Amino acid sequence: MDIFLKYLIVFGVGGTVCFLAQILIIRTRMTSARILVLFELIGVFLQAIQIYEPIKNFANAGITVPIVGFGASLAKGAMDSIKEFGILGIFNGGVTATSAGITAAVGFAYFFALIFKARSKKS
């Protein structure tokens, strides 16, 4: 029963994040790219004020898988790099911390570009 509760929490938190994004899409004139950046900045903000870790401990993949987790990882990498390299750590910390995810995204995008034919969306 404990694992069921954990899955329920993950699904509830992740679903809430997606639900909020869908409301922004429906009710505002924001594009999906702007909503993506907004959620990433929310992750950066939550990490900066040190609220992200307790949320992550509670929600696990429900908060780390959406783009909010990527923003928090960028912020955490920059904050850790500042401690090691000083102010210059701002420039390399976030990218260093998220390099595996960025590499995977670029690699998968390349792989799928080889398989599928890209085309413009008709309005």
Domain that holds residue 93: 2-115
CB 96 within 8 A of CB 81: yes
Collapsing DSSP to helix, strand or coil, 117 comes out as: coil
**pLDDT tens-digit map of 2-58:** 999 999 999 999 999 999 999 999 999 998 889 999 999 999 999 999 999 999 999
User: For the whole model, what pTM was predicted?
Assistant: 0.78
Cα separation, 76 vs 94, in Å, equals: 7
* 105: in domain: yes
Residues 6+ apart with CB under 8 A from 53: 47
Residues 6+ apart with CB under 8 A from 122: none
* 121: in domain: no
The position carrying tokens 């995977």 is 104
Q: How confident is the model at residue 1 (pLDDT cuts 50, 70, 90)?
A: low
Residue 117: the pLDDT is 84
* 97: in domain: yes
Helix 52-59 / helix 2-27 crossing angle, nearest 10 deg: 120
pLDDT, averaged across the chain = 90
Count of domains forming the chain: 1
